Amino acid sequence: MRRAVVRGTGHYLPERVVDNDFFAQTLDTSDEWIRSRTGIERRHFAADDQRTSDLAIAAARAALDNAGMQADQIDAIVLATSTPDFTFPSVATMVQAGLGMTRGFAFDVQAVCAGFVFALANADGLIRSGQADRVLVIGAETFSRIMDWTDRGTCVLFGDGAGAVVLEVADGDGSSDDRGILSTDLNSDGRYKDLLHVDGGVGSTGTAGVLRMQGNLVFRHAVEKLADTAHRALDKAGLDSDDVDWLVPHQANLRIISATAQKMQLPMEKVVLTVADHGNTSAASIPLALSVADRQGKFQEGDVVVAEGIGGGLSWGSVVLRW
């Protein structure tokens, strides 16, 4: 059976680091409120001349280096973003050109904060079906470009960054002992589209718009739906919570992450946390967390890793893989 195995990880964070006190200068907020309600201490913001594709290219190069591969060995790029440089072409094709890659195919996936999970599931499908042997999967965002800087309920939460993984085909026997992606679980429910959305776009206002969120409602959906999807994906893989070595959740809010871990009966020692340093980087948050944890030497070959995320749509899902 064809399995998609992680061969390399990489990430890029813009140089500019912004701490919570920055927001207290102009808004009725405080470092104490942001830390205690979200776990966020700082985030990175892209420079004025940095676009999502620049962040993505840097992360992709780091992941290729880490995998010991050249760009021309890659068959496909699947890139998750909701903050593309342009309406089209896709950021993925810009990454392709930026890497000097002259073969294969590249496309973007848009599922907001669940984007990387959706991208991984797509890449897994491409590999399983034989359409690609090596896929670069990227999450890259510049959410600082779609903030309402007068809305304390949203602008303190988000940051910019990019993360990438290289997947390569490997033979497995189809059991849960195989290395690689073992199962995926994807969900959307468009009835909740207004809870978290951007109030502009090419087909409506003709502007980029800014992010709007009913945070406390999204919070409730997140806690319920993230534990659910993780359990479903584990079930599909023939595993349960006891088998999980690492949970790599979307990094939106430490309270959501702790509540999900508790529902899954996982100790926090098994949870990868980057929310304090990165804030919510939407589709970039999971690959950033994977890459940071990989650099820290957390993952051992054979470890069961569960990645899960939820975002606008609502869309949510999870991926179970053996490192």
Report, as residue numbers or ranges, the catalytic residues: 113, 250, 280
Q: Does 153 bind ligand UT7 (CB under 6 A)?
A: yes
Q: Does 218 bind ligand UT7 (CB under 6 A)?
A: yes
Q: Does 165 bind ligand UT7 (CB under 6 A)?
A: no
Using CB under 6 A, pick the residue from 33, 105, 107, 192 that binds ligand UT7: 33
Pairing of strands 76-80, 105-109: parallel
Q: Does 31 bind ligand UT7 (CB under 6 A)?
A: no
> Nearest-CB residue to ligand UT7?
215
Task: Give dist(CA 236, CA 322) in Å, integer.
Answer: 14
Cβ pair 116, 287 in contact under 8 A: yes
Using CB under 6 A, pick the residue from 310, 319, 320, 321 that binds ligand UT7: 310
Closest CA to 33 of 198, 251, 255: 255
Amino acid identity of residue 52, one-letter, is T
- How long a stretch of residues is the chain? 323
Task: Give dist(CA 146, CA 45) in Å, integer.
Answer: 12
Cβ 178 to ligand UT7 shortest distance, Å: 31
Beta carbons within 8 Å of 6's beta carbon, 6+ residues apart: 165, 166, 167, 180, 321, 323
27-32, long-range: CB within 8 Å, 24+ apart, which pairs? 27/150, 27/152, 27/155, 27/156, 28/152, 29/152, 29/156
Q: Does 244 bind ligand UT7 (CB under 6 A)?
A: no
Q: Does 287 bind ligand UT7 (CB under 6 A)?
A: no
Cβ pair 39, 90 in contact under 8 A: no
Specify the DSSP class assigned to residue 222.
Answer: H
Q: Does 40 bind ligand UT7 (CB under 6 A)?
A: no
Cβ 170 to ligand UT7 shortest distance, Å: 32
Binding segment for ligand UT7 among 101-109, 148-156, 184-192, 315-323 (CB under 6 A)? 148-156
Using CB under 6 A, pick the residue from 222, 227, 247, 289 that binds ligand UT7: 222
Q: Does 223 bind ligand UT7 (CB under 6 A)?
A: no
Question: Does residue 289 sit in helix, strand or coil?
Answer: helix
Cβ 111 to ligand UT7 shortest distance, Å: 11
Both tokens assigned to 267 = 């100790």
Q: Does 192 bind ligand UT7 (CB under 6 A)?
A: no
Q: Does 260 bind ligand UT7 (CB under 6 A)?
A: no
Specify the DSSP class assigned to residue 214.
Answer: -
Binding segment for ligand UT7 among 48-56, 85-93, 216-224, 315-323 (CB under 6 A)? 216-224
**Binding-site ranges for ligand UT7 (CB under 6 A):** 29, 33-34, 37-38, 113, 152-153, 156, 215-216, 218-219, 222, 252-253, 256, 280, 310-311
